[in-house]
Amino acid sequence: MTKKLCGIDEAGRGCLAGPLVVAGVVLKAPVNGLDDSKKLTPKKREELFDHIQKNSLYKIIFTNNQTIDKIGLSSALHNSIEEIKNHFSNYKILMDGNTNFGVKGVEWMIKADTKVAEVSAASILAKVSRDRYMVKISQKYPEYGFDRHKGYGTKEHIDMIQKYGYTSLHRKSFYIKNLKQGSLF
pLDDT for res 3: 81
pLDDT surpasses 80 at 175: no
1-5, 75-79, 87-91, 132-136: which has the minimum mean pLDDT? Answer: 1-5
Four-residue CA torsion sign, 116, 9, 46, 158: negative
Cα–Cα distance, 114 to 19 (Å, whole number): 24
Average per-residue pLDDT for the chain:
94
pLDDT for res 99: 94
pLDDT for res 2: 66
Ramachandran region of residue 176, left (φ > 0), alpha (ψ -120 to 50) or beta?
Answer: beta
Cα–Cα distance, 45 to 124 (Å, whole number): 6
Q: Are 81 and 105 in contact (CB under 8 A)?
A: no
Dihedrals phi, psi of 56, to nearest 5 degrees: -155, 170
pLDDT for res 185: 35
Cα–Cα distance, 31 to 50 (Å, whole number): 10
User: What value does the mean pLDDT take over residues 143-166?
Assistant: 95
Consecutive H or E run containing 182? none
Confidence of residue 38 (pLDDT cuts 50, 70, 90): very high
Tell me: the pLDDT tens digits for 95-128?
Answer: 999 999 999 999 999 999 999 999 999 999 999 9
Residue-range domains of the chain with CATH: 5-184 (3.30.420.10)
User: What value does the mean pLDDT take over residues 36-44?
Assistant: 95
| Model pTM score | 0.93
Cα–Cα distance, 14 to 3 (Å, whole number): 32
pLDDT for res 184: 43
